[in-house]
Amino acid sequence: MFKMRKIVINTCYGGFALSKQALEQYAARKNIDPGAYDDNFGYFENISEHDIERDDPDLVAVVEELEDEADGPYSSLKVVEIPEDVVWSIHEYDGAEWVAEAHRTWS
């Protein structure tokens, strides 16, 4: 049996984003002060979802716990599992993402 890795992706057009609640919970798990929240622009002063590794176990746990409440604007988050030994990257089209195994290319 393979050991699996969990990765968070966005499955709809728009882009990867976490809700305010999800970022608060992630920051609490990491013992990070998120700073002030800007209601006009929808972000915290000291933390951004774009700086979080998608396979971070705390991110995965927050998304699994909150389910749809973890989704930020124009996002629908999903946890996917891949074999632990796969070298992977996230690809996207108009914000909808998938996990792809890395491979060699030449040009």
Over residues 87-107, the mean pLDDT reads 91
Instruction: Say how far apart CA 8 and CA 56 lie, in whole Å.
Output: 9
Instruction: Give me the percent of the chain exceeding a pLDDT of 70.
Output: 99
- Contact between 78 and 67 (Cβ < 8 Å): no
Determine the number of helices (DSSP H) and then strands (DSSP E) in the chain: 2, 6
pLDDT for 30 equals 98
For residues 40 and 103, what is the distance between their CA atoms, to the nearest angstrom? 41
Other CB atoms within 10 Å distance of the CB of residue 57: 11
Alpha carbons 98 and 76: distance in angstroms, whole number = 12
Q: What is the tens place of the pLDDT at every residue in 21-63?
A: 999 999 999 999 999 999 888 889 999 999 999 999 999 999 9
Domain boundaries, the chain: 4-101
